[in-house]
Chains A and B, each alone.
Chain A
Amino acid sequence: MKKRLLQIISVATLLCCLLLAWLNFIGKIPTPALKLWFLLVSLVYFVAATSYVSKKA
């Protein structure tokens, strides 16, 4: 169950990164905010995805 949750979080964070880029492209969020949020969401991705891969192994 936890493994599944980690997998969902990993995919969701990747989609969130893409959404942030899209929002910046259409001018809804400024570039400095994009850079900060992209980094934070990416860090969440790495934590979730690394835990998922470790559990899978």
Chain B
Amino acid sequence: MAFRLSEVASRMDKLYEFDREPVTEGNLKPGVLFASVFAGEHVAATEFVIGAFFVLHGVTASDLILGLLLGNLLAVLSWTFICAPIAVDTRLTLYWYLRKIAGPGVTLIYNVANAFLYCILAGAMISVSATAVGLAFKMKVPGLNDIFPNSVLWVVICLVLGALFTLLAILGFEKLSRFAEVASPWIFLVFIAGALVSLPKLGVKPDFGNFWEVATTKIWNGIAVAGQERLGFWHVVFFAWFCNLAMNVGLSDMAIFRYAKKWTYGLYSAFGAYSGHFLAWICSGVMVAAIGREMHPGKMAFEALGLAGVLAVVLSGWTTANPTLYRAGLALQTITGWPRWKITLLAGAVTSILSCFPLFFMKLLDYVAIYGLVLMPVGAIVFTEHWIFPRLGIPRYQAEERKKAFNWKVLLVWGGSLAFAFALPIHLYFRWLPGYIFALAFYVLLNLPLRNKSTMAENPADS
């Protein structure tokens, strides 16, 4: 298959054709819709794992609560002050805005990177669901430090679930996404109910009188499970902040906020942050403590709510993996030009194989950090181009103006800031922030000569 960038770019453009034009005034949506979209999107299978991991990593109760309050606030502010204003200003998706800035070649690379990262995330969701299905077969779940599958049964369950999820994604995304709309409020309720019924097992009295004592001694007691690194307040703050880095700072939620009447609609992201990334994480922490600190989402939910709990874990895995597979398929479709069913099948096969490796599920916290880190420089580049270039008098949208397929400066900043971030001798969770500042500064620096040229062109007598 001959690879022609112009053909690939044209296919990619057709795929996103429906959102090529900026959103018009008549299509803007009310605030309540943003609240429901965020509340629905941020209660997923990952929540069963992340909240439980905080317990296993020995986070204390006060560090957890204060860290999540602050970290989620920073995430909401990132949506409000970084993502929403650009989306409202341009009314475009990140895809089309990045295309103007970086050219179709770079958007292609971005799409492929995104697709691959999506596949890994969907694989982790299949693994979470597998822990629930495995209960029926008395399957032993892989250990916290396992990289490879620990049994044939684990592989079989992951592959069967992967095949099922892929088949459902092929059969029809829209109908299934409607079902996800139905499932998400119930899944959130399962978190609350599961934690509530687990509390008496930990010794909490019906009047909640000893709740804090139990929370600090039996749940978030500050003791990490053997082999797990102990996390503190700032780890929790940064985790809550960057767990959706690709969406807020990385700007992929421009797709949502371009429909907002005002940039302040970014504040509606609090409905997702504080329901999914605060309450649900606390609830899964309670549930994991009630089963003796074992990383087993299926068992956590089953012990709390029986078959309904198992159903919740499977459904949450599926409702997260389904759109993820669909998006990965779309991104890859642009390169191959294959029909959607075929490319979703390929993405599903890769995802199913990845799901067999417990590494991605057991190292989910680190994976989430890497996922945000990889896509973060693109957000920094778009932010610089949108806000800083006009103030410095640097011309914008060079790729579009010069009809370039690749803006090499974008690629250099993307690669350079990743190399910088990975070389930093600090904890993985803290690397994105200096990396982001580096990307902003580096992109400005690379483009400063253009400013000089334009200034010289305006004032030829000076030269």
Contact = CB atoms under 8 A, between A and B. Distances in A.
Interface of A: 14, 17-18, 20-22, 24-27, 31, 34-36, 38-39, 42, 45-46, 49-50, 53-54, 57
A53 B196 contact: no
Contacts of A17: 186, 189, 193
Contact of A18 (B181, B182, B192, B307): B192
Interface size of B as a range? 20 to 34
Interface of B: 178-179, 181-183, 185-186, 189, 192-194, 196-197, 199-200, 206, 305-308, 311
A25 B192 CA distance: 12
A46 B185 CA distance: 11
B193 A36 contact: no
Contacts of A36: 306
A20 B181 CA distance: 23
A51 B197 CA distance: 30
B307 A14 contact: no
Contact of B186 (A20, A25, A42): A42
Dominant secondary structure at the B interface? helix
Nearest to A42: B308
Contact of B178 (A20, A35, A53): A53
A50 B306 contact: no
B307 A21 contact: no
Nearest to B181: A53
Nearest to B174: A57
B193 A38 contact: yes
Q: Shortest 10 CB-CB distances between A and B: which pairs?
A: A35-B306, A21-B193, A49-B182, A26-B206, A39-B308, A21-B196, A38-B308, A24-B197, A25-B196, A42-B308
B306 A25 contact: no
A29 to B, nearest CB: 10
A56 to B, nearest CB: 9
A46 B196 contact: no
A19 B305 CA distance: 13
Given A27-B200, A38-B308, A45 B179 contact: no
A57 to B, nearest CB: 6
B199 A25 contact: yes
A4 B192 CA distance: 26
A20 B182 contact: no
Given A35-B307, A50-B179, A14 B199 contact: no
Nearest to B312: A42
Contacts of A34: 197, 305-306
Given A42-B311, A53-B178, A14 B197 contact: no
Contacts of A20: 193
B184 to A, nearest CB: 10
Nearest to A26: B206
Contact of B206 (A21, A27, A53, A54): A27
Contacts of A31: 197
Nearest to A11: B185
Contacts of B206: 25-27
Given A18-B192, A24-B196, A50-B179, 14 more contacts: A17-B186, A20-B193, A21-B192, A24-B200, A25-B199, A31-B197, A35-B305, A39-B311, A42-B308, A45-B186, A46-B182, A46-B186, A53-B179, A53-B181
A45 B193 CA distance: 15
Contact of B193 (A18, A27, A50, A53): A18
A41 to B, nearest CB: 9
